Structure 1
Amino acid sequence: MKNKYISEIFKEYDHLQEKAKSEQGKRQEEIYSKFKRVKEIDEEISKIGFELASLIFKGIDADRLITESRKKITDLKMEKAEILVENGYPVDYLEIKYKCSKCKDTGYVGNEKCSCFKQKLIDSLYKQSNLKDILRYENFDTFDFSLYSREKDSEHDISPQENMQQIYAKCISFYKNFDFSYENLFFFGKSGLGKTFLSNCIAKELLDMGKVVIYQTAAELIETLRRARFDENTPSDIIEELFDCDLLIIDDLGTEQNTSFAQTELFNVINNRLLKKKKMIISTNIPIESFNQCYPDRLTSRIFGLFTVFEFFGDDIRIMKNINRKR
């Protein structure tokens, strides 16, 4: 799946190279029209370079001639630079101006991917994840434990803050060991307790690692699947992306219309990814005791049997955030 984004990046590099060469050509025409000597210099350099290459290719031992030719090329380049500078042009005005000087808009420095290539891939992955803007504010660096009560919850025999510290640590472990272990996460609990926030925290770390992450609410997921099945104008690879991305986040399970189509498609996505050992994070506000009433046994058995389950409890932290902003 990632190959699609890589292919698009290389097309972008091809465009950047063509643009850079075209712009160089325009600058060259401008200078040639103003300064005839510059054109003559480039023609001389080209002629000497060709003769020099012929000597080397033929294996002719002409060290003195080669040395003289290279010196003449250097002298000609210096003369051209002086003409440009004397007339107010930068010394490199006629050179190709690549967007990335390190890789010359090829994406590679030697056999290694250039930093610009890695950034382009990350940018592409962010764009398709549906999370680009929100992750600026929702990430591990901005997570605030102080929003959770330190008072022990009578029902759970642990405070909401301690509970979140444990879940937080698990989320850190989840992304750090992403390539070395097989695990899926299931978050449940009332609204406003940080389920989506922590899912986003994990998503950001994996996107920055170059992983393909797709975030959709359950309602959006069902609508996406409906369009893929019945709307011929929907891109054909959308199902493949849902099945094959490195991490699929299904948020707000239970907000989708609970139809037979929705249940079937939801099961197909989850089951298909489990079979392929593709990881998921699912979150829901549905009380755990009510889950069997909402979904068939074949779905609930897979979630509770093959996902690591975490309960979120405590007071709505969104209310706490609003209180803190008003202080």
Structure 2
Amino acid sequence: MNNSNMKSILTEYQKRRDKNIDLLENRKKEVENLIPEIKDINMHINSIGLSISKEILKGSDKKTIDLLKAEQKNLIEHKRQILKSQNIPSDYLEIKYDCDQCKDTGFLKDGSKCNCLKQIIINNAYKMSNIEKILEKENFNTFDLNQFSEEVDEEMGISPRDNMINIVKASKEFIYNFDKKVEPKKANMLFFGSTGLGKSFLCSCIAKELMDLGYTVIYQTSFNLMEIIEKYKFHRKECTDIDEENFKNLFECDLLIIDDLGTELTNNFTISELFNIINDRLLGDKRIIISTNLDLLQIGNEYTDRTISRIVGNFSMYKFMGKDIRLKQIF
């Protein structure tokens, strides 16, 4: 990522910090107007804090410093009791960060990038700056099971609605266990079935939940995925820092969602690269979700035996069923 883009991103982080500091100051004024005693206590706590710092710099004995710390601790507890008596949460007068991990700086204590910063870089690199707007519309809160029929499918022995209930449950378990060691098949998911049955929508639901938890997520169609790989491998001289970031993130992000597998131009290159990226992420214990309109037999016919072998051995497979939801909404 070039310096101009990074500077713009870090400016946004500064705006976040300024916003949250302003919100804290407003809460302080609100409480101090309601309970004037709190203002005096806050001033006293701060004054003792300065005294502790001075005594440390002077090299004062531990007993003197400990007495000051004890006095400060008693004042903090007294303030907490006052707030509690007024039904004010104990953390109400503490700063609230958008990201608790990096305190809205974008960087962790060891100097490495926080996942929230990594996700912003990913979104910018893949021109996915509108993903937040998409996920506002496509998430578990807006997921409507009533769109799926309750009529039992004779072949499947289950209704589309009950089938979707099972898939949503599995998706939430996937999220819950995301950072836990699980058997390979529970670490990755394959959604397959006809168009318009909610596969991409559910991918968005999972992406939003994990991004909200601080994980980095790349959500790309297989067509775009192959374009990224092809540009990096065959047009290196023309590649920018962003192009290299695009390629690297495919292997390093916490979750890679490959949407619409089978819509890319299938040839020896794309077949080989699909195997490479799946295999590399599996070896690195990096999670993958694939959605496709192809069934398992068609995937086996389109791609190599080793690719389908990796999928069968390392993915939980969920068949989506019913009628095209998007057509139902139109008619």
What TM-score, normalized by structure 1, do the two folds share? 0.64
Q: 1:261 to 1:270 in 2, by over 3 A?
A: same
Q: Could you tell me how far apart the structure 2 residues matched to 1:115 and 1:14 are?
A: 6
Amino acid at match of 1:153: D
**Matched residue of 2:231: which SS?**
helix
Q: Could you tell me how far apart the structure 2 residues matched to 1:238 and 1:218 are?
A: 14
- Count of residues paired in the alignment: 238
Q: Given the alignment of the two structures, is residue 169 of structure 1 paired with residue 169 of structure 2, yes or no?
A: yes
Q: Given the alignment of the two structures, is residue 234 of structure 1 paired with residue 227 of structure 2, yes or no?
A: no
Q: Given the alignment of the two structures, is residue 274 of structure 1 paired with residue 282 of structure 2, yes or no?
A: yes
Q: Given the alignment of the two structures, is residue 249 of structure 1 paired with residue 238 of structure 2, yes or no?
A: no
Q: Give the C-alpha shift of residue 189 in structure 1.
A: 0.2
Q: 1:166 to 1:56 in 2, by over 3 A?
A: closer
CA contact (8 A) 2:281 2:287 kept: yes
Q: Given the alignment of the two structures, is residue 133 of structure 1 paired with residue 146 of structure 2, yes or no?
A: no
Q: Given the alignment of the two structures, is residue 311 of structure 1 paired with residue 319 of structure 2, yes or no?
A: yes
Amino acid at match of 1:188: F
Q: Give the C-alpha shift of residue 230 in structure 1.
A: 2.0
Structure with max Cα Rg: 1
Q: Could you tell me how far apart the structure 1 residues matched to 2:312 and 2:56 are?
A: 72
Match of 1:147 in 2: 147
1:10-37 deviation line (CA, Å, top 9, x unaligned) = 9548977xx9xxxxxxxxxxxxxxxxxx
Q: Could you tell me how far apart the structure 1 residues matched to 2:190 and 2:13 are?
A: 43
Match of 1:66 in 2: none
CA contact (8 A) 1:192 1:317 kept: yes
Match of 2:201 in 1: 197
Structure 1 regions of 5+ residues with no counterpart? 1-6, 20-52, 61-100
Which of 303, 311, 321 lines up with 1:295 in the alignment?
A: 303
Q: Give the C-alpha shift of residue 55 in structure 1.
A: 11
Amino acid at match of 2:234: F
Q: 1:9 to 1:189 in 2, by over 3 A?
A: same
**Matched residue of 2:141: which SS?**
helix
Q: 1:263 to 1:136 in 2, by over 3 A?
A: same
Q: Given the alignment of the two structures, is residue 259 of structure 1 paired with residue 267 of structure 2, yes or no?
A: yes
Structure 2 regions of 5+ residues with no counterpart? 1-5, 19-52, 61-92, 108-113
Percent identical = 41
Please say which of residues 228-237 and 123-132 is displaced more in the overlay. 123-132
Q: 1:163 to 1:58 in 2, by over 3 A?
A: closer
CA contact (8 A) 1:126 1:132 kept: no
CA contact (8 A) 1:102 1:114 kept: no
Q: 1:190 to 1:57 in 2, by over 3 A?
A: closer
1:41-81 deviation line (CA, Å, top 9, x unaligned) = xxxxxxxxxxxx99996789xxxxxxxxxxxxxxxxxxxxx
Which of 210, 223, 226 lines up with 2:227 in the alignment?
A: 223
Q: 1:315 to 1:126 in 2, by over 3 A?
A: farther
Q: Give the C-alpha shift of residue 322 in structure 1.
A: 2.7
Match of 1:114 in 2: 103
